[in-house]
């Protein structure tokens, strides 16, 4: 099940427009994290026939716990900046499974997601835009991403949040046995593995095979 998560949305109009985009492509689960506005007349006006999505939307103080959190951002880094090393919406559509609780995390209208929020996500998606004007309107970005995901055909069941935590626990145990020149290099190695595991949407069979490999190290 896919959830659209808006972090600290600032305007009612954008929330309503996001709900409308969700309805266009058949998605209905909306979560607002620490919103800076309410859901009032303007939001319902912009939502048009998607008022039901606003009615059942949920408000939370922090990012929810889900099997997978996929960050979105127009700001990327070079290859060495692992948290900001993105895939495209088309690439996401190829690997995104239909099953599991998966949150698509969209940042603030003005400055997007912060580094600590990106670090809580499994990996990042960036919509290819003109280099002269990279940032998209919030509802437009939601619409583009949901359009790509609306025809999902991947019926595999990825591992859950609990299984990912167990996998990372075993990875940490394996990393402790290895020699690294600095603590920073060990941290980087862990981050690379975390992102790889997130992007892969591992099946249970794949995950348990990887656990067995870590156990042998």
At 158 the three-state DSSP class reads: strand
Positive or negative torsion for Cα 130, 134, 135, 141 = positive
In order along its 217 residues, the chain shows pLDDT tens digits of 999 999 999 999 999 999 999 999 999 999 999 999 999 999 999 999 999 999 999 999 999 999 999 999 877 655 555 556 788 999 999 888 888 999 999 999 988 899 899 999 999 999 988 888 878 899 999 999 999 999 776 777 888 999 999 999 999 998 888 889 898 999 889 988 988 888 888 888 899 899 989 888 7
Is the separation of the CB atoms in 28 and 34 below 8 Å?
A: no
| Widest pairwise Cα distance in the chain | 59
What distances in angstroms separate CA 213 from CA 138, 158, 170, 179, 209, one per listed residue? Answer: 42, 19, 10, 18, 6
CATH class in words for 2-149: alpha beta
Tell me, yes or no, if the pTM score tops 0.75: yes
Q: Which among 168, 155, 177, 156 is positioned nearest to 196, based on CA atoms?
A: 168
- Domain residue spans in the chain? 2-149, 161-216
CA dist., res. 91 & res. 174, Å (int)? 30
């Amino acid at each position: 099940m896919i959830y659209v998560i808006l972090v600290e949305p600032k305007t009612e109009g954008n929330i309503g427009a996001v709900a409308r985009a969700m309805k266009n492509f058949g998605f209905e689960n909306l979560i607002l994290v620490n919103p800076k506005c309410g859901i009032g007349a303007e939001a319902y006006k912009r939502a048009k026939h998607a008022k039901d999505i606003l009615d059942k939307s949920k408000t939370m103080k922090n990012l929810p716990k889900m099997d997978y959190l996929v960050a979105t951002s127009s700001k990327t880094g070079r290859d060495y900046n692992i948290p900001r090393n993105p895939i495209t919406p088309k690439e996401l559509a190829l690997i995104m499974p239909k099953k599991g609780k998966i949150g698509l995390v969209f940042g603030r209208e003005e400055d997007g997601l912060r580094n600590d929020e990106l670090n809580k996500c499994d990996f990042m998606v960036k919509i290819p835009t003109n280099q002269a004007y990279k940032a998209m309107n919030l509802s437009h970005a939601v619409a583009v991403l949901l359009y790509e995901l609306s025809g999902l055909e991947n019926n595999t069941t990825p591992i859950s949040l609990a299984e990912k935590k167990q996998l990372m626990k075993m990875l940490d145990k394996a990393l402790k046995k290895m020699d690294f020149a600095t603590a920073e290099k060990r941290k980087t190695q862990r981050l690379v593995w975390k992102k790889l595991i997130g992007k892969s949407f591992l099946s249970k069979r794949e995950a348990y095979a990887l656990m067995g490999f870590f156990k042998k190290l």
